[in-house]
Chain A
Amino acid sequence: MDRIVLIGLNHKTAPVEIRERFNVVCVDSKGPLSDLALIRSLRESFYLSTCNRMEVLFTTPRLDEGISAVVGLLAQIYGQTGAALKPYLYTYIDQDAVKHLFRVACSLDSMVVGEPQILGQIKDAYRQATEAKASGVILNRLLHKSFSVAKRVRTETRIGSSAVSISYAAVELAKKIFGELQGKIALLIGAGEMAELAAEHLLNNGVERIVIANRTLERAMALAKRFKGVTVPWEELLEELRKTDIIISSTGSSEPILTSKQVRKRMRARRNRPLFFIDIAVPRDIDPDVNHIDNVYLYNIDDLQGIIEVNRAERIKEAGRAEHIIAAEALKFDAWLRTLEVVPTIVSLREKAEQIREVEVQKTVSQLDSLSKGEIEAIHVLTQSVVRKLLHDPILFLKRISTRSRKDFYLDVARKLFHLDEDQPETEEGEDQLSLDSDKAS
């Protein structure tokens, strides 16, 4: 049976330089999907890249071979040897891979837990995978499942409310400092899900312009395009302090990028007009002492989280509930996965047919009192042979499928055709397609 493998790196395992590298390489092209397809030991593949993570999800019949081939390809993209890349990577197999994907989709693994963008990013990546015909029966099912799990987590827990309200709180604060946001300029340093969300909120609330400073020009340009803003060279960051009003910082730098002294020095030049720093980075980008300067206000992510009423304990509780949903859904998926074997499908097909046959024969016999024992026996023999003959060809067909991917497909079809999975609604495929499109629109 094929194994499901997920290899990836995220903001916890890899520094920003490496994450950006993957992001930049893959931002313009379709990603390494076509290259993944060339790896012979892989059957299905899916590739996701955001500024905080990179994930390769694939199925393979030969586990070790598949993993080393994918790591080799990633190393090639990164321009390093596999050994140099390996410390940053995590590898999950089967159930763990499924759970990890669910956690990512539910935004439990995000830098800002609950931020909503990641699901859209997974959907985009999945669309690319289907367009490239890289995904097959298993990954299609898995990805669709991850969307519905994410939806379930979002409606059943309050995990999503905190991220949105964080950027809402940032905008509210900005309004309490500046009054109107019209004509104000926001500077986005670095990038990240939360920073971009905050920038978008500010823009929607009247901020005139978003200026982008990023160590990687390509990334800066991509963000500038998205926010219709302009880019500034990284080296001129300090000069920008004279013009800008709101600074959203979210770099992966291990050192603070702005010190209190640097900011203080520029306050005179900006005639003490207020400066509002939103420091989303962990570790912090902005020296905490900045908050002591007159007319300068510094909020980091914890401060913002402190404002909104959802407190830490409650967030942990909500995350626990989300994890529970994920574990349950992962088990369900596993159960489905096992049905993709030939024998269980044949068994359940026969069971279902026999069940129907028996019920129908009983109905007839109970209505006809005059039947002798021999006649009843004859009816049983007759119906049994009808069922057997009817099922003979499908069962033979299923047994004879030689290649794995075809087998997955036909087993899946057979189970749907005969409605063998009671818990699955019959129209699921169509609904999933619909939800994919509607999410694209939103």
Chain B
Amino acid sequence: MNESLFLFSIATTLLYSVGTVGYLIYVVRTELVIHRIAYGFLLAGFLSHSLGLALLIGQIKQLPVTTLPQSFSLFAWAIVGSYLAFQLKFNIRVLGTFVSPLAVIFMILSSAIPGRIIPDSQLFKSFWLTLHVTTIFIGNAIFALAFCAGIMYLLQERQIKTKSFGLLYRRLPSLETLDSLNYVCLTFGFPLITIGLISGFIYAGAVLHSFWHWDPKEILAVLTWLIYAVLLHERLAVGWRGRRAAIMAIIGFSIILVTFVGASLILKGHHSFKFV
């Protein structure tokens, strides 16, 4: 059983990598057929990834977030999934060039980091925990898209402001498109992480008998939530947009990365994959 899981993981990583290479070629050549092939590889990778995850869930009978490698893999899956969906809806093809490497990095991290198998525990079988993990992962994946859109915005804006145009000027979409992508991600991602935080507190209250533990991950998560809350508020209230919104999205996701990778590896606490 573990062998087939391993094969799925390898296949997924390979498919994502080929898709990423395709997207990098697409930036240079901008031929529609190249994009279609790259998208196909990502989609194939996503299907193989989904199958692998389904097998894993069937095996461990809980969401695959008990070890850091599992979490990374799940996060890569969420990123690719949300990109594939966004691409269908918004058709910003070059976004794939920025998003797909992220997925590959998380897949490689996932297989490079040794994960201890954590004994099956009743602690992990709760509706609140499932809700918490699902919403947080999808919300963060959508913020990853906003992060990429933010980088793309800054690159494009810089070229237009400084009046020096490179290869990317023609490739990148308009500032307006990138900014509205940022906004759309915010309107999807923010409710999701809000639900994620609340369900997390409820779960903690029920299982650990206290809503708040001054756990580093908790603090950073609330900080992230505040950043996105400010961004959303300013956008709606005074029409913040463009560069500031892009920078906020980049900062927000950077904190998510620190929370997710950094805090899990270095800091201690009940989110660190080291307790129990």
Q: Using CB atoms and an 8 Å cutoff, list the residues of chain A in contact with chain B.
A: 173, 175-180, 268, 270-274, 291, 294-295, 297, 299, 303, 306-307
Known: A177-B175, A179-B174. A297 touches B161 (CB 8 A): yes
Q: Which residues of A contact B163 (CB under 8 A)?
A: 299, 303, 306-307
Which of B160, B169, B177, B238 is A271 in contact with, Cβ under 8 Å?
A: B238
Q: Name the distance in Å between B122's Cβ and chain A's nearest Cβ.
A: 52
CB contacts (< 8 Å) of A173 on chain B: these are: 160
**Cβ contacts under 8 Å, A303 to chain B:** 163
Q: Name 16 A/B residue pairs within 8 A (Cβ), A-sorted.
A: A176-B160, A176-B175, A177-B175, A179-B174, A179-B175, A180-B176, A268-B238, A271-B238, A272-B242, A274-B175, A291-B161, A294-B243, A295-B242, A297-B160, A303-B163, A306-B163
Interface string of B166-185 (1 = CB under 8 A from A): 00010001111100000000
Q: Which of A268, A294, A306, A307 has most B Cβ within 10 Å?
A: A294
Distance in angstroms between the alpha carbons of A209 and B238 in the assembled complex: 26
A274 / chain B contacts, CB cutoff of 8 Å = 175-176, 242
Q: How far is the CA of A21 from the CA of B174 in the complex (A)?
A: 42
Q: Chain A residues near B175 (CB, 8 Å)?
A: 176-179, 274
Q: How far is the CA of A64 from the CA of B161 in the complex (A)?
A: 55
Docked-complex contact B243 and A177, CB < 8 angstroms: no
Give the distance to chain B from A182, nearest Cβ to Cβ, in Å: 12
Interface size class of B (residues with CB under 8 A): 10 to 19
> In this assembly, does B239 line the interface, its C-beta being within 8 Å of a C-beta of chain A?
yes
Encode B139-168 as 1/0 by CB contact (under 8 A) with A. Answer: 000000000000000001000110101000
| Contact, CB under 8 Å: B177 / A179 | yes
Q: With the chains together, A306 CA to B159 CA distance in Å?
A: 13
Complex-state Cα separation, A273 to B156, whole angstroms: 17
Enumerate chain A residues within 8 angstroms of B244, measured Cβ to Cβ.
Answer: 294
Question: Which residues in B have their C-beta under 8 angstroms from that of A273?
Answer: 239, 241
Answer whether residue B240 sits at the interface, using C-beta atoms and an 8 A cutoff. yes
Complex contacts, A271 vs chain B, CB 8 Å: 238-239, 241
CB distance from B248 to the nearest CB of A (A): 13
Q: Which residues of B are found within 8 Å of A307, using beta-carbon distances?
A: 163, 165
Question: Which residue of B160, B176, B243 is within 8 Å of A179 (Cβ)?
Answer: B176
| Chain B residue with the shortest CB-CB distance to A295 | B242
Q: For chains A and B in complex, what number of residue pairs have CB atoms within 8 angstroms?
A: 50
Residue of B nearest to A300 (CB): B163
The one of B173, B174, B241 in contact with A295, judged by C-beta atoms closer than 8 angstroms, is B241
Given the complex, which residues of A lie within 8 Å of B156, measured CB to CB? 176
Q: What's the minimum C-beta distance from B23 to chain A, rounded to whole angstroms?
A: 21
Tell me, in angstroms, the Cα distance from A176 to B165 when the chains sit together.
12
Q: Known contacts being A173-B160, A303-B163, A307-B165, is A295 close to B243, with CB within 8 Å? A: yes
0/1 per residue, B207-245, Cβ < 8 Å to A? 000000000000000000000000000000011111110
Assembly CA distance A294 to B248 (angstroms): 14
Q: Within the complex, which residue of B165, B177, B238, B242 is in contact with A294, where a contact is CB–CB below 8 Å?
A: B242
Q: Scoring B residues 238 to 258 as 1 if CB is less than 8 Å from chain A, else 0, what string do you get?
A: 111111100000000000000
A299 contacts across to B, CB distance below 8 A? 163
CB distance from A341 to the nearest CB of B (A): 58
Bound form: Cα–Cα A273–B180 in Å: 12
A297 to B176, CA, bound (A): 13
With both beta carbons as reference points, the residue of chain B lying nearest to A304 in the complex is identified as B163
8 A Cβ contacts from B35-62 to A: none
Chain A, residue nearest B156 (CB): A176
What are the 4 A-B residue pairs with the smallest beta carbon separation, nearest first? A271-B239, A179-B174, A179-B176, A295-B242
On chain B, the residues within 8 Å of A291 by CB distance are 161
With a cutoff of 8 Å between Cβ atoms, the chain B residues found around residue A175 in the complex are 174
Q: Quick check: A177 and B239 within 8 Å, CB to CB?
A: no
Give, as a whole number of angstroms, the nearest-CB distance from B164 to chain A. Answer: 9
Nearest CB of A to B92, in Å: 11
Residue of A nearest to B175 (CB): A177
Contacts of A180 in B (CB 8 A): 176
Bound CA–CA A180/B177 (angstroms): 9
Chain B nearest CB from A168 CB (Å) reads: 14
A176 touching B169 by the CB < 8 A rule?
Answer: yes
In the complex, the answer to whether B238 meets A177 with C-beta atoms within 8 Å is: no
Alpha-carbon separation in the docked complex, A297 to B243 (Å) = 12
**Which residues from B are CB-within-8-Å of A270?**
239
User: Which residues of the partner chain A approach B160 to less than 8 Å between Cβ atoms?
Assistant: 173, 176-177, 297
Return A207 CB to nearest CB of chain B, in Å: 14
Q: List, in ascending order, chain A residues with CB within 8 A of B177's CB.
A: 179
Closest chain A residue to B169, Cβ basis: A176
Q: How far is the CB of A273 from chain B (nearest CB, A)?
A: 7
CA distance A272 to B156 in the complex (A): 18
Query: A180-B176, A294-B243, A299-B163 are known contacts; what are 12 more A-B pairs with Cβ within 8 Å?
Result: A176-B156, A176-B174, A176-B175, A177-B160, A179-B173, A179-B176, A268-B239, A271-B239, A273-B241, A294-B242, A297-B161, A307-B163
In whole angstroms, how far apart are the Cα atoms of A273 and B175 in the complex? 11
Inside 8 A of A268's CB, which chain B residues have their CB?
Answer: 238-239
CB distance from B231 to the nearest CB of A (A): 13
Roughly how many angstroms separate A297 CA and B160 CA in the complex, as a whole number? Answer: 8
How many angstroms from the CA of A67 to the CA of B130 in the assembled complex?
94
- Which of chain A's residues has its CB closest to B159's CB? A176
A174 CA to B157 CA in the complex, in Å?
A: 12
| Separation of A352 and B262 alpha carbons in the complex (Å) | 100
Distance between B177 CB and nearest chain A CB, rounded to angstroms: 5
A288 CB, min distance to chain B CBs, angstroms: 12
A49 to chain B, nearest CB (A): 35
State the Cβ distance, B127 to closest chain A Cβ, in Å: 41
CB distance from B160 to the nearest CB of A (A): 6
Given contacts A271-B238, A303-B163, A306-B163, are A178 and B243 in contact (CB under 8 A)? no
Give complex CA distance A177, B243 in Å: 12
Note all chain A residues with C-beta closer than 8 A to B243: 294-295
Q: How far is the CB of A55 from chain B (nearest CB, A)?
A: 36
A178 and B176 contact, CB distance less than 8 A: yes
Chain A residue nearest in CB terms to B160: A297
Tell me, rounded to whole Å, the shortest Cβ–Cβ distance linking B166 to chain A: 12
Our pick among B165, B176, B240, B241 for the contact of A177 (Cβ within 8 Å) is B176
B-side contacts of A177, CB under 8 Å: 160, 174-176
CB distance from A248 to the nearest CB of B (A): 17
A291 and B162 CA atoms in complex are apart in Å by 9
